[in-house]
């Protein structure tokens, strides 16, 4: 299974910092997201795209996590030579993270 | 209890106009806000103003105002926008010209200036936040310095009876905070109320991004009627939950899911969303469905505003040359890779020495490198070569090397495109808010 099966995401940029949200389709899955999708896991997953730290913020009331990804390779929206200078597509990269098949049934 | 209806008719400079017209006609709005300024937009506008002293405002301002002014006038809807960009006063003149052309009289058009702080940025020891270097060192590379101003001058214009308020670099949420504070009589030091109004602004400011735009993912997140996507409006009572909705019959969807995505869009610490008006706290926000395409949102608050204002600094930062060409069929990827190698070698041979070169295979690794996903070999692939150079001529030469792969590269290359442009990089600094003096000017047509 992938995160895409249980959650949705949107990313936005502020210069060389990009935030990527992760929102459970079913709020009951929030605790499992907290357990599986750590800041370290996301940092590792984004290693080719960002070199800085990843900070995770928790929003239990809406069943969401917010990842702030520092050090986007290439310097962010106005400097980077990257095709997706804003990092808008990082949300789709996050949702590719593999998760165990169990614990997501209702 | 008094409830204010406020809509958003644009989420960026190039946004679509039809949904704004629909909002003006059917939204029963008290306020229609157009948010049209990104960091780079204002830098480009500053350059446009250098070329034409009467220019430098949003290129779509006249078209937008023409499309909604009569309807707004008829219904008593006040228009607020940062479409003034680098030249709010000229934008105000343009709005008044539109009114005269449409035969509309008696409307008060106010402009807010003071965000352009280029004149004072070199006078003290300000520091670039991203690098720690003095702002002064940017020298003549600096093309624009605009402070994010808050709701107060807009509020002043509204208290003065403005029907249209045009600003430059006002912070996006402030365009919404001002009318809500004006209508509900909130003091700008009522941090909880300002924090709540800031959330309304934050949710609406990207227009279609909360009504189902930037959301659809067929099979998982289906959205109906995207071709007729409606723009959002909020019903904001003095206290209690705010309802986000859209015009009945318009396309798209307002659901808890669309609202959650937008709540966190471009947010870092949700407990400290810093604007010129407040440090908003969204951690207590609750989001609930309240009918078809109606979502109730409650629980935002705010703390005391910062003593400094953020200033966006735009600097000339070299040039980028870029070219693309496509290959198809078996061996397409190998040919595209060979083409990339050829271009890189030719740039060396020509002693072009670009500062940085990047080669992507679109369809394989252009967005996320080879780190994510397991790409099988695609049937077709598009080579993209982009290089940063110190002159426009070099940038053009890079683009030329890609285009000339037609006759000088691997077999079957097609669909080449090329571009070369100057780049403006953006950094920021903080300045004491008392240094930024805003001025409101109003004229009745």
pLDDT tens by residue, B384-393: 999 999 999 9
Can you give the pLDDT at residue B407? 97
Q: Going by C-beta distance under 8 Å and a sequence separation of 6 or more, which residues neighbour residue B317?
A: A78, A79, B141, B423, B424, B425
Whether B352 has a pLDDT exceeding 90, the answer reads: no
> Which pLDDT tens digit goes with each residue over B356-373?
999 999 999 899 887 676
Binary contact (B369, A49; C-beta < 8 A) = yes
CB interface of A with B, residues 1-20, below 8 Å: 4, 8-10, 12-17, 19
The DSSP letter of residue B149 is B
In chain A, the residue whose alpha carbon lies closest to the alpha carbon of B369 is A48
Q: Measure the CA–CA gap between B388 and B90, rounded to whole angstroms.
A: 35
* Prediction ipTM score: 0.96
Measured between CA atoms, the residue of chain A closest to residue B355 is A81
Nearest CA in chain A to B271: A57
Which of B284, B360, B373 has the CB atom closest to A61's CB atom? B284
Give the pLDDT score at A76: 65
Q: What's the maximum distance between 2 C-alpha atoms anywhere in chain B?
A: 74
- Chain A residues with CB-CB distance to B426 below 8 A: 15, 77-78
Residues facing B235 on adjacent strands = B5, B243
CB contact, 8 Å: B129 with chain A?
Answer: no
* pTM (two decimals): 0.96
- A84 at B interface, C-beta within 8 A: yes
Give yes or no for residue B297 having a pLDDT over 80. yes
| Distance of alpha carbon B87 from alpha carbon B149, whole angstroms | 15
295-314 in chain B: CB under 8 A from chain A: 299
List the alpha helices (DSSP H) in B52-151: 61-75, 88-101, 118-121
Per-residue confidence at B292, pLDDT binned at 50, 70, 90? very high
Length of chain B (residues): 445
Mean pLDDT of chain A: 91
Q: Residue B72's pLDDT is what?
A: 98
Residue A90 predicted with pLDDT over 80: yes
Q: Is the pLDDT of residue B383 over 70?
A: yes
Q: Which of B221, B312, B372 to mutate to test the interface with A (most CBs of A within 10 A)?
A: B372
Largest CA distance in chain A: 45
The SS3 of residue B79 is: strand
CB contact under 8 A, A82 and B358: yes
Task: Assess whether pLDDT exceeds 60 at residue A106.
Answer: no
| Contact criterion met (CB below 8 Å) for B385 and B398 | yes
Decide which of B16 and A49 is more confident: B16
Q: Work out the minimum CA distance from A4 to partner chain B, whole angstroms.
A: 9
**How many Cα neighbours within 13 Å face the side chain of B371?**
18
A23 at interface of B, judged by CB pairs closer than 8 A: yes
How far away is chain B from the Cα of A30, in angstroms, using its nearest Cα? 14
Contact A67, A41 (CB under 8 A): no
The 10s digit of each residue's pLDDT in B9-59 is 999 999 999 999 999 999 999 999 999 998 888 888 988 998 999 999 999
Whether chain A has a CB inside 8 Å of the CB on B222: the answer is: no
Q: Do A19 and B267 touch (CB under 8 A)?
A: yes
- pLDDT above 80 for B103: yes
Residue B385's contacts (CB-CB under 8 Å, 6 or more residues apart) are B322, B323, B324, B340, B343, B344, B357, B358, B359, B398, B401, B402
CB A42 within 8 A of CB A96: no
Report the pLDDT averaged over residues B228-239: 98
Average pLDDT of every residue of chain B: 96
Q: Report CB contact under 8 Å: B268, A14.
A: yes
**Every domain of chain B and the residues it spans:** 3-114+149-306, 117-146+307-445
Q: What is the DSSP letter of B16?
A: -
Neighbouring C-beta atoms of residue B228, cutoff 10 Å: 13
What local confidence, expressed as pLDDT, does residue B371 receive? 67
Shortest CA gap A62–chain B (Å): 6
Q: Is the pLDDT reported for residue B432 higher than 70?
A: yes
Q: Which residue of A has its CA nearest to B209?
A: A10
CB atoms within 10 A of CB B375: 13
pLDDT at B303: 98
CA distance B43 to B40: 5
The model's pLDDT over B189-227, given as tens digits with 9 standing for 90+, comes to: 999 999 999 999 999 999 999 999 999 999 999 999 999
Residue of B253, B263, B264, B373 to mutate for A, most A C-beta atoms under 10 A: B264
* Range from A41-50, A64-73, B436-445 that averages highest in pLDDT: B436-445
Q: At what angle do helices B174-184 and B152-159 cross, to 10 degrees?
A: 40
Residue B361 DSSP symbol: E
Query: How far is the alpha carbon of B224 from chain A, nearest alpha carbon, in Å?
Result: 18
Higher pLDDT, residue A88 or B243: B243
Between residues 90 and 119 of chain B, which touch chain A (CB distance below 8 Å)?
Answer: none
pLDDT at res. A65:
98
DSSP string covering B161-172: T-SEEEESSB-T
CA distance A80 to A86: 9
Q: What pLDDT is attached to residue B355? A: 85
Q: Quick check: A3 and A10 in contact, CB under 8 A?
A: no
pLDDT reported for residue B377: 86
Measured between beta carbons, the chain B residues lying within 8 angstroms of A45 are 371-372
Q: Which two tokens stand for residue A92?
A: 């789709």
Chain A residues in contact with B130 (beta carbon < 8 A): 15-16
Token representation of residue B214: 């930037």
- Dig out the tokens for B186 from the structure: 């909130």
- Is it the case that residue B285 has pLDDT exceeding 90? yes
Interatomic CA distance for residues B83 and B99, integer angstroms:
16
* Of the partner residues B261, B366, B424, the one whose CB lies closest to the CB of residue A21: B261
pLDDT band at A102 (very low <50, low <70, confident <90, very high): confident
A15 Cβ contact partners less than 8 Å away, ≥ 6 residues apart: A76, A77, A78, B130, B426, B427, B428
Chain B residue numbers touching A48 (CB-CB < 8 A):
368-372
Minimal Cα distance from B427: which residue of A?
A: A15
The partner residues of B237 in beta bridges, in order of sequence, read: B3
> Exposure pattern of A40-50 as b/e (b: 16+ CB <10 Å)?
eebbebbeebb
> Percent of chain B scored above 70 by pLDDT?
99
Work out the number of other CB atoms within 10 angstroms of the CB of residue B38: 16
State residue A71's pLDDT score: 86
Cα B140 off chain centre by: 26
pLDDT (0 to 100) of residue B374 = 62
pLDDT tens for B150-162 read 999 999 999 999 9
């Amino acid at each position: 299974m992938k995160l895409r099966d249980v959650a949705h995401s949107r990313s936005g940029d502020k210069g060389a910092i990009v935030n990527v949200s992760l929102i459970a389709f079913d709020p009951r899955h929030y605790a499992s997201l907290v357990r599986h999708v750590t800041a370290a896991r996301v940092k590792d997953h984004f290693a080719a795209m960002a070199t800085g730290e990843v900070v995770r913020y928790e929003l239990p009331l809406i069943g969401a996590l917010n990842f702030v990804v520092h050090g986007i390779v290439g310097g962010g929206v106005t400097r980077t030579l990257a095709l997706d200078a804003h990092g808008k597509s990082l949300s789709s990269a996050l949702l590719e993270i593999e998760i165990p098949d169990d614990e997501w049934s209702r | 209890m008094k409830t204010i209806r406020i809509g958003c008719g644009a989420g960026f400079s190039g946004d679509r106009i039809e949904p704004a017209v629909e909002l003006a006609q059917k939204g029963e709005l008290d306020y229609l806000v157009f948010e049209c300024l990104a960091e780079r937009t204002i830098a480009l506008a500053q350059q446009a103003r250098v070329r034409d002293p009467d220019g430098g405002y949003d290129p779509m301002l006249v078209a937008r105002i023409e499309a909604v002014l009569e309807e707004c006038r008829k219904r008593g809807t006040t228009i607020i926008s940062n479409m003034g960009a680098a030249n709010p006063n000229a934008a105000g003149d343009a709005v008044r010209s539109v009114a005269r052309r449409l035969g509309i009289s008696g409307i008060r058009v106010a402009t807010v200036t003071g965000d352009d702080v280029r004149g004072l940025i070199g006078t003290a020891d300000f520091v670039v936040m991203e690098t720690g270097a003095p702002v002064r060192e940017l020298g003549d590379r600096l093309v624009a310095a605009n402070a994010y101003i808050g709701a107060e001058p807009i509020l002043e214009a509204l208290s003065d009876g403005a029907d249209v308020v045009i600003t430059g670099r006002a912070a996006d949420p402030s365009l919404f905070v001002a009318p809500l504070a004006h209508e509900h009589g909130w003091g700008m030091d009522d941090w909880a109320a300002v924090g709540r109004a800031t959330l309304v602004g934050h949710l609406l400011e990207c227009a279609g991004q909360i009504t189902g735009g930037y959301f659809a993912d067929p099979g998982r997140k289906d959205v109906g009627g995207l071709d007729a996507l409606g723009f959002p409006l909020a019903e904001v009572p003095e206290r209690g939950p705010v309802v986000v909705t859209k015009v009945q019959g318009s396309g798209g969807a307002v659901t808890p899911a669309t609202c959650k995505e937008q709540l966190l869009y471009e947010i870092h610490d949700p407990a400290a969303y810093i604007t010129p008006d407040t440090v908003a706290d969204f951690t207590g926000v609750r989001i609930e469905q309240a009918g078809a395409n109606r979502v109730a949102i409650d629980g935002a608050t705010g703390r005391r505003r910062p003593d400094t204002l953020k200033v966006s600094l735009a600097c000339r930062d070299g040039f980028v040359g870029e070219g693309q060409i496509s290959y198809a069929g078996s061996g397409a990827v190998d040919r595209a890779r060979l083409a990339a190698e050829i271009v890189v070698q030719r740039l060396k041979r020509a002693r072009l020495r670009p500062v940085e070169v990047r080669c992507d295979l679109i369809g394989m690794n252009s967005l996320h490198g080879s780190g994510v996903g397991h790409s099988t070999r695609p049937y077709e692939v598009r080579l993209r070569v982009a290089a940063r150079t110190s002159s426009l001529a070099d940038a053009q030469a890079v683009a030329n090397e890609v285009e000339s792969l037609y006759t000088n590269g691997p077999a079957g290359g097609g669909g080449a495109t090329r571009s070369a442009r100057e780049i403006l990089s953006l950094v920021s600094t903080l300045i004491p808010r008392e240094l930024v003096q805003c001025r409101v000017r109003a004229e009745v047509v």
